[in-house]
Amino acid sequence: MGFNSKVAIVTGATGGIGQQLVAQLISQGAKVVVTGRDASSCALLEERYGDRLSALAGDITATEHCQALVEHAVQRFGGLHLLFNNAGTIPRGTAIETSDEMWDSALAVNLTAAFKLSRAAIEHMRSNGGGTIVNTASAWGLYPGPAHLAYCTAKGALIAMTRSMGRDHATQQIRINAVCPNEVDTPMLRSGFEYRGLDAKKALRELDNTVPLGHVAQPQEIVDAMLFLASEQSRYVTGTVLEVTGAKAVY
Ligand code: NAD
């Protein structure tokens, strides 16, 4: 699709989907700013990608860090065109199993961080010719799966935020969309197998059989949809959510 001379911020860059996304963006010519809580993981990414990637460690739930990330992209690479709100955390449990901390962290990482970073990015994009934001939501935000109350609620709100922001900022040539994957073969999915005491290989094979297209998504299959939404090829698409599920229905 070609992202030559584009500058992107990616959150959750050390995760299964995030690593693949960063690799693709860089291989297609973009310069990428990443962030994370752990400075050593950030430094490793800088080592791997040299002058095409710059990391700023910090807390994406903090307003000041979100503003600093946008300033960093502008100072280091001369602008900001693409934002991927991809970081996510998945506390597990029904209402009675969900502590205040689980609830707060689900909303802070999956929703509030995306709001604060989008707000900071939009402030820059609206006076610099526009831009594109892609949020990693979830099919579970549309059709909640069992016993993940805080996660499903946060992703559902992220979907509403995407639609609302997409509408508000279209006149400023800022496109805002989301992908909604079902299961993706990443550490997040595998942590669920561990949580339930399942053998990961066997559980993955069984899950493959539940997907009409025949297999649980690989990160690249989600990244391809994210890159479409970030690219010129989707230039008339905004305020939408794209289900990338292999036709697996949650209900
Ligand atoms: P992952 O666990 O491999 O990656 C999650 C990333 O989010 C990591 O880089 C992690 O460091 C980051 N993160 C978590 N908590 C954070 C915090 N407090 N502050 C900053 N960063 C934090 O999982 P993944 O599958 O690559 O997840 C990427 C996105 O895809 C998430 O938003 C997730 O909800 C979404 N998603 C995943 C699946 C799936 O089955 N794997 C399905 C639907 C949606």
247 lies in some domain: no
Q: What is the mean pLDDT of residues 80-91?
A: 98
Decide: 101 in ligand 1 pocket, CB within 6 A: no
Q: What is the pLDDT of residues 117-154, one digit of tens each?
A: 999 999 999 999 999 999 999 999 999 999 999 999 99
131 lies in some domain: yes
Q: What is the pLDDT of residues 44-63, one digit of tens each?
A: 999 999 999 999 999 999 99
Which is the closest atom of ligand 1 to the Cα of 13? Answer: 9
DSSP string of 153-210, one letter each residue? HHHHHHHHHHHHHHHHHGGGTEEEEEEEES-BSSHHHHHHHHHTT--HHHHHHHHHTT
191 lies in some domain: no
9 is written with which tokens?
A: 């911020």
CATH number at residue 80: 3.40.50.720
Alpha carbon of 219 to ligand 1 centroid (Å): 11
Q: What is the pLDDT of residues 207-219, one digit of tens each?
A: 999 999 999 999 9
Report the alpha-carbon distance of residue 90 to residue 65 in Å, rounded.
22
Alpha carbon of 188 to ligand 1 centroid (Å): 6
54 lies in some domain: yes
User: What ipTM was assigned to the predicted interfaces of this complex?
Assistant: 0.99
Decide: 85 in ligand 1 pocket, CB within 6 A: no
25 lies in some domain: yes
Residue 75 has φ and ψ, to the nearest 5°, of -70, -40
134 lies in some domain: yes
Which is the closest atom of ligand 1 to the Cα of 105? Answer: 18
> What's the number of domains the chain is made of?
1
151 belongs to the catalytic site:
yes
Report the alpha-carbon distance of residue 235 to residue 185 in Å, rounded.
29
Alpha carbon of 130 to ligand 1 centroid (Å): 27
Q: What is the pLDDT of residues 158-211, one digit of tens each?
A: 999 999 999 999 999 999 999 999 999 999 999 999 999 999 999 999 999 999
| pLDDT for residue 173 | 98
What are the residues facing 131 on neighbouring strands? Answer: 174
Which is the closest atom of ligand 1 to the Cα of 155? Answer: 34
What 3-state DSSP class applies to 155? helix
Domain limits at 123?
A: 7-182+217-241
The predicted model scores a pTM of 0.98
Distances in Å between the alpha carbon of 197 and those of 143, 146, 162, 202, 215? Answer: 25, 17, 35, 12, 22
127 lies in some domain: yes
**Catalytic residue from among 151, 195, 236, 251:** 151
CA atoms within 13 A of residue 238's CA, in its CB half-sphere: 20
193 lies in some domain: no
| pLDDT for residue 249 | 84
